[in-house]
Amino acid sequence: MPSNAAGGRSAPVDSADTRPQLLIVDDDPLITEAFGYVLEKDFRVVATDTRAGAIRCIRALPEPPPLALVDLGLPPTPHRPDEGFALISDLLAHAPEMRIIVLSGQSELAHARHARTLGALEYLAKPVDPDHLGRLLRSALLMNSAARRTGRTEESSGLHGCSAAIAQLRAQIAQLADSPFPLLIQGESGTGKELVGHDLHRVSVRRDQPYLTLNCAAIAPALIESQLFGHARGAFTGATESHAGYFEEAEAGTLFLDEIGELPLELQPKLLRVLENGEFHRVGETRPRFCRARVVTATNRNLRQAIASGHFRADLYHRLSVFTIAMPPLRDLAEDRIGLMNLFRDRVTAQTGASPFRLNDDALARWMSYGFPGNVRELRNITIRLQTKYPGQVVSRPALEAELDLSTRTPSAANAGMPAGQPDRAVGDEADPIRQAMVELRDNDGFELDAVLRRWEIRYIEAALRLANGRMSQAARLLGLNRSTLYSRMDALGIERPHGAGEMG
């Protein structure tokens, strides 16, 4: 039966148990028990019922599970998909190689497409055939195994493409690789920031020195300091031996810190000190140590906005960004979209032995006009699904569009961690809202206008509350409402009022 990790604890790992680990996130205990029973022959199942519990579980395990089954409707909003969507992004931020399958009672076509855009491999509506689910999980596991045999994942297997944007990126890597100064890589999720970090090291004079990576989002905040700087024996409960941190073990090589925007505010001065003079202390020691490694960081967050909101130090940002590289989104890579499709398709056919699919002219034109809001990760997953569903066949435009997220606009530059001043571009045909509505009406037999309007109203109210940091008066002004009207609408829509909203008002 599955072990429950809702409180952030997972069952001890039996080193003799070779079954791959599977994370199930669902707030229905009957679902987790049923799938645990059906799948425990082939998988070590760990179950939790919340997004926070899933993150605690991953942080507590020696390594992230390669597979996850995720329900979209999770507390505190079990009747909306928002928490499930956020969890998909969180899981991939912690474990980019994880294969995620969404199991949801919210079977709207738009939800399925958006889950795939965020990086989910597949979307299955409940109830699901256990045998089909088992086959899908085993197939996903084979993809991970093949990636490990190559020694690198698809996302970090070298830069592919011949577009002007990729050529410029290669030139930047060559120019900046040997510099000893910090470098910040910015870009949307799924663009391959870790790939660039690895290539910076591979072509540098440090290539024979260690290359270490640490995902700042994947480590519990209380443990990051020890991971980065090390600790002395007895420094805290459980510290039975002295431990060297990443800065020490990187020696004169490269230390790549991913998701740097998630670094706790209280640790940022210590990182700043290392960057300024190379000095750091192990936790529990007073003797200074010195780091000779080059520090490369990456983020998909807009750090300038984080500075404005008080979540990131301006002085640290300026030290990290002595040099910067802006990752081009896939929509700017033109013909590379075809080359990447061929690359991932050929990898799948090499694993399965099946004949490759191909797109007809109409589908190929649609492929080139689609904006890929999920970038290379989304393109890879779409290619995998097409090859699995249509081996050796010619894929039509309708078949292709069934795999695309036609309702999602590409992120603005401000929200993607990119330099400010770039326009907020829409995805392909979705720039025309009437055309977008036509696509949704055509593809969704169960379309309900009231439900769609309700969803958008909820999203805008919640967005206003976040921008206003929970201040109801400010949120009402952003929405063009008076405060009493906003209260009424929130109550009618079931949106919980921010804690202390009456006082913050």
> What pLDDT score does 147 carry?
52
- Residue 153: what pLDDT? 42
Query: In this structure, are residues 344 and 384 in contact, taking their beta carbons and an 8 Å threshold?
Result: yes
Every domain range in the chain assigned CATH 1.10.10:
449-504
Q: Could you tell me which residues come within 8 angstroms of residue 120 by beta carbon, excluding any fewer than 6 positions away?
A: 70, 88, 100, 101, 102, 381
Structure tokens at 164: 């002007």
289-290 and 279-280 strand pairing:
antiparallel
> Which secondary-structure segment (H or E) carries 279?
strand 279-280
Torsion of the alpha carbons at 32, 37, 38 and 44, rounded to the nearest 10: 80
Out of 3.10.530.10, 1.10.10.10, 3.40.50.300, 3.30.379.10, the CATH code matching 156-326 is 3.40.50.300
- What topology is assigned to 449-504 in CATH? Arc Repressor Mutant, subunit A (1.10.10)
The per-type count for the chain, helices as H runs and strands as E runs, is 21, 17
3-state secondary structure 39-80: HCCCCEEEEECCHHHHHHHHHHCCCCCCEEEECCCCCCCCCC
Looking at domain 336-435, which of 3.90.226.10, 3.30.565.10, 3.40.50.12160, 1.10.8.60 is its CATH number?
A: 1.10.8.60
CATH 3.40.50.300 region(s) of the chain?
A: 156-326
Q: What is the pLDDT of residue 269?
A: 95
Provide the pLDDT for residue 417.
46
Peptide bond into 76 cis (omega under 30): yes
Position 421 scores a pLDDT of: 35
User: What pLDDT, on the 0 to 100 scale, is given for residue 429?
Assistant: 38
Output the pLDDT for position 5.
53
At 275 the pLDDT is 95
- The pLDDT assigned to 380 comes to 92
Q: What's the CA gap between 437 and 453, in Å, rounded?
A: 12
* pLDDT confidence of residue 468: 80
pLDDT digits (tens, 9 = 90+) for 282-331: 999 999 999 999 999 999 999 999 999 899 999 999 999 999 999 999 98
Fold designation for 3-151: Rossmann fold (3.40.50)
CA distance 451 to 439: 17
Backbone φ and ψ of 395, nearest 5°: -90, 130
Whole-number pLDDT of residue 442: 60
pTM of the model as a whole: 0.65
Residue limits of CATH 1.10.8.60 in the chain: 336-435
pLDDT score for 87: 92
pLDDT at 1: 58
Per-residue pLDDT, 9: 41
pLDDT of residue 478: 87
Using a 10 angstrom Cβ sphere, with 0-12 exposed, 13-18 middle and 19 or more buried, the burial of residue 334 is middle
- Determine the Cα–Cα distance for residues 103 and 473; give it in Å rounded to an integer: 38
CATH 3.40.50.2300: which residues of the chain? 3-151
Q: Block means of pLDDT (10 residues each) for the chain, length 505 residues?
A: 52 67 92 88 92 89 90 88 89 86 78 85 85 86 60 53 88 94 94 92 93 89 90 85 92 95 93 94 92 95 91 95 94 90 91 91 93 92 93 95 76 44 36 56 65 83 84 86 86 77 45
Return the closest-CA partner of residue 97 out of 133, 41, 58: 58
